[in-house]
Structure 1
Amino acid sequence: MDDSLSFESFCEGAKKAAHRAMEDHGREEYDEFALHAGVAVERLAKAVLVSKNPVYIVEIRGNASVDMLFHMGGHRKAKKVRTIGASEAISRLRTLEVLALDKELDMLIDVRNGVAHTGSEEDAKDFLPILAKTVETLLGDLGGPLDAFWGRWTTAARMAVDNKRGEIYRNVQVRIRQAKHRYDDRFSDLPEHLQDRLAVEQLELGGFGVRFAENGVEIAIREPCPACRSAAHVLSVNQGTEETPHFTVIALRCPMCYLKLATRDELEASGVDVKHADDLAAFQVSTFFDGAVPSEKTFRMKIEQFLGTETVDLD
């Protein structure tokens, strides 16, 4: 039988595609993620079928199917190697009661095949749990360990299907793992003690950054990143009045691992102490202004005087 159609080949192909899918998802390249996720499911589904009987991946279509039947049996070589696609592989596994009916899985395969389209790239990111769940089911049938398949992505894959946690928590924890791997990929050649020193020195710089946006003053302070422990920028906005500002933490951006958290709920799910961050932002501002948080108008005027410019962006 053709080595490319062996159980080992399908398993290895599924593993590589699944890892690529995780990397795509972490980079927010969701169209590529859907493509590689679909490939991973197809190849692992075929691995399961081959493990039961190699002829189960033969496409039934005219005389060519007879050639493939003997080809998979190892008795002759087919003129053209043709096997079933992802949808048929899933259908056959449902017949064998390995997989259950799942509209989300069908949609993932349709998107991968170009038969269907998501409303936007953002929508495609929601396929991550179905990828993780399907892989777990197929590996369960094979009796293969999850960590051997996922490697460094095991925690993220487990988190994606952890129904004991809320959706926001699961989503954030997966993104933290993805960001950590991005950091490792960027700085793996840098000695660990230098990475630690860089993170500490950044955090010890203290201070804060200011940006005047359309919605008013925004403040950025430094806090340890939940993913890589480098100095992330934690963004606060005024949720009080212009005369009496009250700065509240609402977002995080890390320049080292590129983790982005966009809401207070996501910050809390990541483990950031938002109350401490609120207090730190207020302390930094009041210290700069000799013990008081000024109005936004005074804030702008003082910062512009301090920098000697009319446009300010310290973040």
Structure 2
Amino acid sequence: MTTRNFALAFSPDALMGKSRAYIVRALAAKSRGSLGEYQLWASLALELLGKSALAGIHPCLIADPQSSESLFAAAGMTVGTDLKTITAKTVFERLTHISTRFDKKTQVYCQNMSLKRNAELHSGEAPFEAATLSSWEGRYWHTAEIILETKKLTIETWLGADQAKAPKELLAEYTHAIVEAAKVRIETAREAFSQLSKKARDAAFSKADALRPWEFSRSFHLLADSIWETKCPACGSRAFLAGVKYAEEVSEDLDDEHSDEETVDVFFAAEEFQCPSCGLHLDSRDEIEAAGLDIEHTEIETRQREYEPDYGND
């Protein structure tokens, strides 16, 4: 019997929905202090997230190649009900082909997590109980962010923190996830840049030093009110922040009330960071602050003074 609907086992939406349910269970376990259970549910959520990303390209990418019933179902035809998907190891191998950010280090991290998960479920071992949060959580959120990026989604939408009625605990976890992912992204950029030859690093620094802020404006997603210089937290290069204006006030220290001009302090808040040397990109205030960068920026402008019109003197 032929059908146009793919079996739920291979549906990108169904896999994403289940992944979301599991990450919510994971965070609930974390809030109870059950850190072993937290990592168990998180590992299951990550594998399902990876399968959803692959199935979004084509469901056949997650069908067990040894199962003809599964291959037919993934192609849209039902010939049986014994449906099987690929192993976690294969999922993480295939993800390296759809994102350049899903590198070997990330792949090995995911495979190690799935091996611990299997040991947790199928043996007397309890590998998750001995793991500290600092040993896995930051790279977990970084990895989830990479996979979500292939689906044009964010950690915020995955956790449901973008919903108006999202609980405060979930919003707090979202902020924590963003910060941890940003820290690992900085570390990854630092490692990649350090592996370049000295000649290549020096050339990148020289190119960055020659750039003017406005020349780099097209590299930002944000339609910024101002772009200013900063130092890259990953490679130390000259880099740039883009931000929006949020306030301004006449500078009392520099203002001459007898002049036709006035000096104004204009205040900006950074919302995006780009490094032209190592390619590090941070696209939120939370990420920028996690990098240890100051989001506040002030510029001084000199303007023609505006006078209030006189009333009642005619």
The TM-score normalised by the length of structure 1 is 0.47
Which structure is higher in helix share? Answer: 1
What TM-score results when the alignment is normalised by the length of structure 2? 0.47
